[in-house]
Structure 1
Amino acid sequence: MNGSMKRLAKLLLPLLLPFSAQAGGQADFCKSMDHAGGRYTVCSFDPAKNTIRIYDRDHVSGQGYRSFADLSSALWRQHMFSIFAMNGGMYHSDYSSVGLFVENGVERSSISTRGGWGNFHLLPNGVFYLKGTTAAVLETEAYLVADPKPDFATQSGPMLVIDGQLHPRFLPDSDSLKRRNGVGVSRDGMVHFAISENTVRFYDFARLFRDVLDAPNALYLDGTISSVDIPAMKRRDMLFPMGPIIAVIDRVPD
């Protein structure tokens, strides 16, 4: 490819990515799953082979990204692009993280162990983190004991699955039905991101991770704002502003 073609490719790539689809409009790392009356999109990645990062703000402007489009623009300036992104935890009114947030080994928001109102404080809550080529989900107290010194981390809540057990507050007949998204790490080290396409119970969502995805620990990320960006599926949810965003990224070809 000559220099002119390379420049043209670089100009077109960020425009084409949101609309590029594989056969059938399905990314090879994502699949649709039905479980206990719920329909889910589940996207799975090997952290040893894929670059997974967690973002919350543009450090040039100091502003929160708030949208997949804003993050994509920032990544493009770094000659990077995302193949997958999902809202990655709860946030304050200024879009800053509620609880722990670690980026590039720097703790930008401290861990929270206090009780309070809302799903984040439906204890136990937990932390999704990345260190080197591995990923894990740990309940908050277990995280403090392990002190893993992660490269990236986000705290959210409640935990969905704790050491193979469903969160003790979840009820199989609960009438609280919402769209939900979460993350779990299966026993083989794969990271699974799931988002419900219809409204579901916490109990059934947690069982998806434990019983179907083989994740002994899984973390709830959010409810109503649940959003995902999967360019290969021509999908970019733009329902609500976001705080932290988890993304799987790649480098723009030279």
Structure 2
Amino acid sequence: MRLLLLSLLLTTSAHALQSTEVKAGGQLYAVVTVQPGQDALRLSWKGLDGQPYGTVAALKSALAKQGKTLLFATNSGIYAPGLRPLGLHVQRGETLVPLNRARSGGNFALLPNGVFWVRGKQAGVSESRAYERLNLAPDFASQSGPLLVQGGRIHPSFTAGSSSLKLRSGVGVCAGGAVKFAVSEGAVNFYDFAKFFRDALGCPDALYLDGSISTFYTPERGDSQLIAYAGIWAVVK
């Protein structure tokens, strides 16, 4: 897979956060690299009023009132009616939604699925049953599915050349512990998206987050989506 780094958008001495555009296999992707322990990566769902933030704009506004700046945001995964995360949602060490063990029902239940978690300076993508056995007690975690790559192996249900083409977003934990969020700028199938994480980004473990409604926010990129979400992964200054 050919890899072309197009632009470096954001890097500061205080934050390791990097935002780039990467072209691989003829497709363009937006990629944000986060260093756990250096960047304040957090997961949000509800505000002080108990209601879901819903949009990136609402989260950004709430943070601004606290004197904080939103550096990056993306929706955390598939959600249920009422803007409730469909799977596990852990926020500041508290489990707000338990692990979902469903074996049927769309992409989320295309097993194996998994959990993206952050604990201190560490982050990981773990298969859901393996995550449960690890008893990690993370600071933040969200469950989604399917797993794109597990231990360097692409999900067995994915097919090269599949005609199921959609905008897709995901997250991977890569060599050295860096976290890479990616969203395709155009329609791509699951196989190519998984291959992008494994071969272009060097992430042996990666998790699908969501499809066509996904968004990426950085100050330079902005946020053109007004669609409401449940959980939102964010990096805050």
TM-score by length of 1: 0.86
Distance in structure 1 (CA, Å) of the matches to 2:30 and 2:10 = 11
Greater fraction of residues in strand: 2
1:179 and 2:167 correspond: yes
Residue 35 of structure 1 and its aligned partner are, at CA, apart by 1.3
CA deviation map 1:209-233 (0-9, x unaligned): 11111111100000011101110x2
Residues 225 and 242, structure 1, Cα contact 8 Å, conserved in 2: no
Equivalent residue in structure 2 for 1:224, among 209, 212, 221: 212
Distance in structure 1 (CA, Å) of the matches to 2:29 and 2:71 = 19
In percent, how many aligned pairs have the same letter? Answer: 41
For 1:80, give the aligned amino acid.
K
1:153 and 2:141 correspond: yes
Structure 1 residue aligned with 2:10:
27
TM-score by length of 2: 0.92
CA RMSD of aligned residues (A): 1.3
**Equivalent residue runs for 1:27-106 within 5 Å:** 27-28=10-11, 29-58=18-47, 60-106=48-94
Residue 240 of structure 1 and its aligned partner are, at CA, apart by 1.8
Residues 40 and 195, structure 1, Cα contact 8 Å, conserved in 2: yes
For 2:106, give the aligned amino acid.
G
Distance in structure 2 (CA, Å) of the matches to 1:159 and 1:209 = 11
Residue 31 of structure 1 and its aligned partner are, at CA, apart by 1.1
Distance in structure 2 (CA, Å) of the matches to 1:125 and 1:205 = 15
Equivalent residue in structure 1 for 2:198, among 179, 185, 210: 210
Residues 37 and 122, structure 2, Cα contact 8 Å, conserved in 1: yes
The alignment of Structure 1 onto Structure 2 pairs a total of residues equal to 225
Distance in structure 2 (CA, Å) of the matches to 1:206 and 1:166 = 6
The DSSP-based 3-state class of the residue aligned with 1:236 is coil
Distance in structure 2 (CA, Å) of the matches to 1:234 and 1:156 = 25
1:238 and 2:225 correspond: yes
Distance in structure 2 (CA, Å) of the matches to 1:178 and 1:239 = 19
Residue 25 of structure 1 and its aligned partner are, at CA, apart by 8.6
| Structure number, greater radius of gyration | 1
The DSSP-based 3-state class of the residue aligned with 1:179 is coil
For 1:159, give the aligned amino acid.
L
Structure 2 residue aligned with 1:12:
none
Distance in structure 2 (CA, Å) of the matches to 1:159 and 1:37 = 23
Distance in structure 2 (CA, Å) of the matches to 1:30 and 1:142 = 31
Structure 2 regions of 5+ residues with no counterpart?
Answer: 1-6, 12-17
Residues 103 and 109, structure 2, Cα contact 8 Å, conserved in 1: yes
Residues 227 and 239, structure 1, Cα contact 8 Å, conserved in 2: no
Residue 78 of structure 1 and its aligned partner are, at CA, apart by 2.6
Distance in structure 1 (CA, Å) of the matches to 2:54 and 2:192 = 29
Distance in structure 1 (CA, Å) of the matches to 2:66 and 2:142 = 22
Structure 1 regions of 5+ residues with no counterpart?
Answer: 1-23
